[in-house]
Amino acid sequence: MSLRHGLLGLLNYGPMTGYELSKVFRQSLDFFWQGQTSQIYRELNVMEGSGYLASEYVMQTDKPNKRVYSITNEGRDEFIKWLSSPGADIDEAMKVRSAFLMRVFFAGELNERQSIAMLKAFSEKCAEAIKGLDVANEAIENYGEAVGDIEKAKYWGLVKMFGEIFYAAELEWAKKAIAFLEGE
Amino acid sequence: MSLRHGLLGLLNYGPMTGYELSKVFRQSLDFFWQGQTSQIYRELNVMEGSGYLASEYVMQTDKPNKRVYSITNEGRDEFIKWLSSPGADIDEAMKVRSAFLMRVFFAGELNERQSIAMLKAFSEKCAEAIKGLDVANEAIENYGEAVGDIEKAKYWGLVKMFGEIFYAAELEWAKKAIAFLEGE
DNA sequence: TTAATCATGTAACACGTTACATGATTGC
DNA sequence: GCAATCATGTAACGTGTTACATGATTAA
C-alpha cells in the first residue's frame, strides 16, 4: 500500500506518466521506499481501476505514445485518509528486517577473523552512506524547488535527519561490535 | 533467500518439522527476520527439491502425521558458502524501507498538530520496543542453552546490542523532530 | 557505425501475507 | 459442554524483482 500512497502523493503535485513517476520516485521517495518501474505501471493500472486516478492516452511521433495519469478527487481523499491514520505503519517501523543481522546471528559457524572482516566491511559502508546523504540532500532540495513549497521542506529535513541518525547508529554499533570481538 | 538460509541454519542444529521450525524461527530469528508458517512450508519443499534437505514422513495417531526435515551435506555446504559472502546483504542493510518515513515526507499536507501527534506515537512505540528487548533477551538465552553452545552466545549478544542502539537512535530522532516542530 | 541510453512499457517469476481445513486436547 | 489452542499443513492472492521488447537518439 505504500507504493500506492507514494504515487498518490506525487500525482497530487501534478499529472505524470508512469515513466516520469518512476524517475521522480527515484529522485525523491527512493531513500525510504524503492519501487521498480514495472511495479509502478501495474499499480497505476490497479489504481485507475479503483477510481483513484484518471488517465489520458497521448500520441507522439518522435517518442513512444504515453499514458498520462492524474489524481481524482477520490484519490486525494484516499491519500489524506491514509495520511491521517499512521498506526499500522508505526508498528511496522518497530520491526527490524535484516539479512545482515541473520549473518551476525549465525557468525559462530565462521571463524572470528571472518566475522570481524564482515563487520569492518559493514562499517565502511555506513561511512559511505553518511557521505552519500549530502548528495541525497541536494537532490531533495532541487525537488523541493521544483514543487515550490518551502513549508514542506521542513518535513523533508526531518527525513534527512533520520538518515543521519540512523547511519550514525549503525556505525556506532559496528565499531562497538568490532571492539568487542577484537578485545578478547 | 534469507528465509532459506535461516532455515538451513536452524536445521543445522538438528532435524525438525515445518511446524517446529516455524516456532523456533519465531523464538530466535524473528527479531530480524519474519517468516510466516505457510511460507516456511513452501520453502522447505523447494529446498528439498534442490537437494539441501531430506525429509521423512512420520505417522502419528494422537496428532496429525508429520514430515521431519534434516539438512544434507549439500545443504550445509550451501549454508557455509552463504555465510562466507556477505557483500549483497551489507549493501541491502544500507537501504531504508519505511512507510512511516513516507508519511513524514508527506506530512506537509497535514496540519502540524497531527504531525506532532504522529511523532509522539512513534516515540512511545520506541520506548516500548526498548523495554521489550529484555524479554527478547531472555528468549534468546533460553534458546542458547537449548542449543548448548556458549561460544555462539557472543554473536547473539551483538544482535541484541544492535536492537538497543537502533531503538535508542529512533527515539533520539523522534525527540529532536518533535522539539523542532514545537520550537517554531 | 556500433553500442549505449532514452522513452515507453509487458510478462514471468519469486517472495510474502491472509484465509482456511481438520481432528485432538486443554481451559473455563 | 463449548470455545480456544495445538499440531499439522494447503490454497489463494498481493507485492516485489528480473528479464525482455522496440524504435529513436546520442556518444565513442
Which residues are paired to B53 by β-bridges?
B71
**pTM of the shown model:** 0.91
Q: Rounded CA gap, A54 and A71, in Å?
A: 6
Cβ neighbours of A156 in B, within 8 Å: 105
User: Is it the case that residue B151 has pLDDT exceeding 80?
Assistant: no
Which residues are paired to A67 by β-bridges?
A57
- If one compares A136 and B121, the residue with the highest pLDDT of the two is B121
| pLDDT at residue B69 in the model | 96
User: Is it the case that residue B111 has pLDDT exceeding 70?
Assistant: yes
> Which parts of chain B fold into alpha helices (H)?
2-11, 18-28, 37-49, 73-83, 87-93, 99-105, 112-147, 153-182
Among B93, B109, B154, whose Cβ lies nearest the Cβ of A100? Answer: B93
Report B:55-74 residues touching A (Cβ under 8 A): none
User: Is it the case that residue B78 has pLDDT exceeding 80?
Assistant: yes
| pLDDT at residue B65 in the model | 84
Cβ neighbours of B125 in A, within 8 Å: 90-91, 93-94
pLDDT tens for A3-29 read: 999 999 999 999 999 999 999 999 889
C-alpha cell at A63: 517518442
| pLDDT at residue B60 in the model | 83
Distance from CA of B115 to the nearest CA of A (A): 9
Query: Which of the residues in chain A have pLDDT under 50?
Result: none
User: Is it the case that residue B121 has pLDDT exceeding 90?
Assistant: yes
Return left, alpha or beta for A14; rule: phi > 0 is left, psi -120 to 50 is alpha, else beta: left
Please report, rounded to a whole number, the percentage of residues in chain B having pLDDT higher than 90.
73
Q: Rounded CA gap, A105 and A115, in Å?
A: 11
Q: Does A24 contact chain B (CB < 8 Å)?
A: no
Binned at pLDDT 50, 70 and 90, residue B59 comes out as confident
Lowest mean pLDDT among A49-53, B124-128, B145-149: B145-149
Which residue is closest to C20 in terms of CA–C1' distance? B38
Cell 527515484 found at: A26
- Helix, strand or coil, per DSSP, at residue B98: coil
